Amino acid sequence: MNSTLHITSGDIAGGNLAKSGLAGEVLVWHDILYDGPRNPGWPTDDTLSARAWFLAQATCDGLDREHILRTLRNQYRKIAAADAYERIILWFDACLFDQAMLAHILACLLHQGSRQVELVCVDAFPGIAPFNGLGQLAPAQFASLYDQRRPVTDAQFRFAQLTDKAFASQDRQLFAELSGSTAAPLPWIPAAVARWLLELPDPASGLGRLETLALEAIRGGCTTPAEIFSAVAAADTPPQYWGDITLWARINQLADREPPLVRIEGPTPRLPQWEGMADLSRFRITSLPGRAA
C-alpha cells in the first residue's frame, strides 16, 4: 500500500503542499463544484461530459473540453483507488470554492466505502490578514498544520452528502436550511452556503453579489481588469471564493445582458478566461450610461 494521499484545491496550494516535506502524493482537485450541471455524489459518464462542456465554456475554451474530461476522469479514478492508501488527508479552507469541493469529495469517498479520512480545514493563519485561502501558505506553513488534522466522523460524511446534494440540485430550500444550521458537523459549510445564496440573482437587479461588486467598481471609475479586480477584492469580505477567471466571467456576463450593462473594448470581444489568451492590459471596460441594473 502507498502511505498517504493528500487532496487539496488550487495548483499553488498543491505545489506548496508538495514542497512541505510531508510524505505522500498530492492530488489537486480541479472543478467548480458550487455551479454547473452535475448529480449528487459519484458522477455518471454523462455528468462528466456535461461538466467538461460547462468548464470549457466557463473558460471561454481556454481549456480544451477533452483535456478537462481527461482531468475529471483521472480525479475520480484516484478516488476509486483510495483504498490503496493507508491514509487520506484533505486540506481545505473555509471559502465557498473549497467547501463545495470538500463536501463533494467526502460524498464520493463515502460512496466508494473509504472512511479512513482525515481533514485539515482552516479559516485563518497567524500573520496572514486577510486570509483568503491555502494558496497563501508557504510550504513550511503547510507542514505546521499537519498536527491539526482530525478524522472525518460519520456525522461529517452524512452532512457532506446533504451539502453536495444542495449544490448539485441548486435547491434553495436546502441551501436556506444549511446556511441556518447552528451546529453543523462541518462548521464552515453554513457561511459558505450563505455566500453562494448571495450569488443567486437578486429579484430586483437580476445580479449576484460578485456581478454587483464588479458593476459598482466599473461605475466608480475602474476601467482596467486589474483596477476592477483590486476594487472588488477590497469590497468583498474574506474568505473570497473567486479568482480572476471567475471575475472576468462575471464582467462578461454584464456585457452579455440584454440590455448590456458594460462595454468591453480590447483585442477580443470578451475578457479572456485563461492566461495567455489575450493581453489583459489592452482591455478597457466602461459602464453604459442610462442603463439600470
pLDDT digit string (tens) for 230-253? Answer: 999 999 988 889 989 899 999 999
pLDDT digits (tens, 9 = 90+) for 25-54: 999 999 999 999 999 999 999 999 999 999
pLDDT of res. 291: 57
* Residue-wise pLDDT tens digits, 116-143: 999 999 999 999 999 989 999 999 999 9
What value does the mean pLDDT take over residues 158-171?
Answer: 98
CATH of domain 209-287: 1.10.10
d(CA 19, CA 203): 47
Sign of CA dihedral 192, 118, 158, 184: negative
Q: In sequence order, what DSSP letters do the residues of 121-172 get, joined into one string? A: EES-BTTBSS---GGG--HHHHHHTGGG-EEPPHHHHHHHHHHHHHHHHT-H
User: Angle between the 244-256 and 209-219 helix axes, to the nearest 10 degrees?
Assistant: 80
Q: Range(s) for CATH 3.40.1360.10 in the chain?
A: 2-198
Give the global pTM: 0.93
Q: Which of 166-180, 185-199, 266-280 is the least confident region?
A: 266-280
Which pLDDT does position 37 carry in this prediction?
Answer: 93
d(CA 186, CA 102): 10
Distance CA(271)–CA(81), nearest Å, equals: 39
User: What average pLDDT does this structure show over 3-18?
Assistant: 96
Diameter of the chain measured on Cα atoms: 65
- Using the Cα atoms of residue 93, residue 97, residue 103 and residue 109 in order, give the sign of their dihedral: negative
Start-end of CATH 1.10.10 domains in the chain: 209-287
- The CATH T-level fold of domain 2-198 is Dna Topoisomerase Vi A Subunit; Chain: A, domain 2 (3.40.1360)
Residues 56 and 46: beta-carbon distance below 8 Å? no
- Please give the Cα distance from 187 to 183 (Å, whole number): 7
Written in H, E and C, the secondary structure of 59-100 is CCCCCCHHHHHHHHHHHHHHHHCHHHEEEEEEEEECCHHHHH
